[in-house]
Structure 1
Amino acid sequence: MVLTIDGTALDDYPSSINPLLQHHLHLKENSTRLTAEKTQVLGPASLLYVSQREYAVTYPHDNKISVLGTDDFTTSIAIIVRHAGSGAVGLTQLDRMNEEGLMSMLQKISSLSYGYEGRTELHLIGGFSDTKGVGASLIQSCLSTLHRLRTTLELVTCCVGEVCTVRRNGAPWPLIYGIGINVKTGEIFPAQFTDKGPDMDLRTARTLTGGENVGLIDIYDVNREELKIGPLSYEPMRAVDIWLQQTDDFILQSLSSCPEVSPPSFLPQLRSALKRIKQDPYPSVSIFGANQPRLYRKDELSGHWVRTNKEPEPTWTQTGPPPPIQHHNFKQEPVPHWPSIPVQSQIYY
């Protein structure tokens, strides 16, 4: 199918945002209105936070979730898709396109919207006009990918590129760092989130070491109203101790495409991920040994996610004295050299 604007299909995906906004003034007006709104600061209550290269889908009848949100993006793009009839909505944040993952998200929205009339609306936010052109390249790739999908998407909000950029002393800065959508009403608003949910060190480590091979994962079971993390893995890093010893400025310059506009939470979250990689270099064994996700449900009083399942306990119990230690003379093999973190693998853009 194709992208549509006011119900009219586009012949081809736009190669540039500016002509599109000039020809369809309501898109620019929607974007300007969004950037002018005051940023809402939200805590954990009724929130489902989506990190980079994750997606979540829910609908207005969800008893636990009222807001889907994501933040800490600069050149990456938040994509919101909502069915106008059912209110089913999906949110993802991408720093590179993943057609298979987007199709999975759209299929979940379609399943929740079965029997409802109405269009499927698309909202794009982010991808500010950085000096290196990272955001502009991602916007073009995003529009091209969405135009190829097998779902007709009505473009309602296109707050990307220049309309999402402000100049400070001649340098470009993002106007919006985060976005939320009210699941009950469909209202979209600038947002910042004080609680991003559990296992953020694991979730960040997944994207940190995997580069372009890290796909888009679904983190929410709407039928059970459960957050599900994993099972997931990441590449071991022999140089993790060295990275942890580096200065904040060195890490910022090395691992951010736009260090001058990186959000305040970038460094603490990155260091937390590096510590997790050091502690659990092989999470598929030490954390997800049973190949099961970590499941969480919302606590109604605090709003925090509470773990509902635990890693299985060992099936054996020791009834007598411990067995004697056996000493083996294994041949010491040379230790392979592990590659350092690929600079092109970014957490936040």
Structure 2
Amino acid sequence: MPLFIQNREVDRIRSTAELYDRNPHLQEYARAFRSKKCVDVDPKCLLYVQQREFAATTPADNYVSVIGSEDATTCHMVVLRHTGTGAVCIAHCDGSSTSSEVPQFVKAVKSLSDACKEGRLELHLVGGFNDESKMSHNLSLNILAAFQNQEEDIHLETCCTTEMNDVLVDGIHKPIIYGIGVKVETGEVFPASFTFKGPAENLRSARTFTKGEMVEIYEPNQGIVKVGPCSWPPQPDLIKWMTMTDKEILEALSTSPKAEPSDFVRSIKATMWFILDHPNPDSLFPGDQPQRYRKTDCGDWDRIVQP
């Protein structure tokens, strides 16, 4: 079980409280991390990762200098970086299939670092809070356990999750940090917010909403975001959802309705409308090919039209 903290191999972790008690420096790092100013990331340099997505790149990337993700309540954001090459991966995990997802993140970083014999794999975890159902706590443990089961040595550097990412607001537990960014050049991880969550934001959200599995969205050697192809069955019940109040939607579709960011319902409604507008998603992928996007010189994502 090669998960290390301060170069010491970690035994099985039974609770986050135990993890922090045995490693007080992780508490100190978490306090310092959550006290950092939240950065509003410029879309022109950004690759945004949605729930059940991951992306990896290197400092040689000419298109992207920051990768990031947001809107995590019980979800966790995972950053894995190779210190020798600077290859870095970010993932937005919701616990859907953690044990099979973590090996994908390791493989993505290793595939960009095979030529480098120096350096090590460093792990940063951010997300979750003290939710009533303990979903955050369970996800923290499951992610750590999955990394312990990898063949590679992995060094836990940051763990700002569950109780260390929790704040009471009017008697209600909420996350302190909902989003993070990573500077690709240096590997710096920082609290972040994002005004742009594309490209193809609604399509990508629809894939997740209809139970899509974790997927890698970026081809770093070409600077291309790849979406799909994906499909979903007819969703006639969504018409009923659109007649419900915001409160009803929030309470029915959120794992933590009292802690969601203010635009949660708006985003859910936009996703549902997209699905209703595209009952046959095959039409979105001519020739059963994915949608592909590349950044322009101005920093916008333009769709690459297939010949």
> TM-score, normalised to structure 1's length?
0.84
What pairs up with 1:195-274 in 2 under 5 angstroms?
195-210=196-211, 214-274=212-272
- AA in 2 matched with 1:21: Y
Shift of 1:208: 1.4
Where in structure 1 are there 5+ consecutive unaligned residues?
A: 313-349
Matched, 1:34 2:30: no
What pairs up with 1:136-215 in 2 under 5 angstroms?
136-210=137-211, 214-215=212-213
- AA in 2 matched with 1:232: C
Describe the SS at the equivalent of 2:288.
coil
Shift of 1:100: 3.0
Please name the residue that 1:135 is paired with: 136
For each residue in 1:149-180, what CA deviation from the matched residue of structure 2 results, as whole angstroms up to 9, or x when unmatched? 22221000010011100112332111001000
- Please tell me whether the aligned partners of residues 98 and 215 of structure 1 are also in contact (alpha carbons under 8 angstroms): no
- Give the aligned CA root-mean-square deviation in angstroms: 1.4
Describe the SS at the equivalent of 2:242.
helix
Shift of 1:249: 1.2
Please name the residue that 1:309 is paired with: 305
Q: d(CA) in 2 for partners of 1:204 and 1:98? A: 19
Where in structure 2 are there 5+ consecutive unaligned residues?
A: none
Please name the residue that 1:53 is paired with: 52
- Please tell me whether the aligned partners of residues 98 and 142 of structure 2 are also in contact (alpha carbons under 8 angstroms): no
Per mean C-alpha deviation after superposition, the further-off stretch among 22-31 and 88-97 is 22-31
Shift of 1:124: 0.5
Shift of 1:48: 0.3
CA gap of 1:236–1:98, structure 2 versus 1, over 3 A, is farther
Shift of 1:15: 1.1
- Please tell me whether the aligned partners of residues 39 and 190 of structure 2 are also in contact (alpha carbons under 8 angstroms): yes
Please name the residue that 1:282 is paired with: 280
Shift of 1:63: 0.5
- Please tell me whether the aligned partners of residues 78 and 125 of structure 1 are also in contact (alpha carbons under 8 angstroms): yes
Please name the residue that 2:109 is paired with: 109
Fraction of identical pairs, as percent: 38
- Please tell me whether the aligned partners of residues 2 and 153 of structure 1 are also in contact (alpha carbons under 8 angstroms): yes
Please name the residue that 2:291 is paired with: 294
- Please tell me whether the aligned partners of residues 101 and 215 of structure 1 are also in contact (alpha carbons under 8 angstroms): no
CA gap of 1:131–1:101, structure 2 versus 1, over 3 A, is closer
Give the aligned length: 305
Shift of 1:94: 0.7
Shift of 1:141: 1.6
> TM-score, normalised to structure 2's length?
0.95
Please name the residue that 1:95 is paired with: 94
Please name the residue that 2:119 is paired with: 118
Please name the residue that 2:20 is paired with: 21
Shift of 1:22: 2.0
Shift of 1:11: 2.7
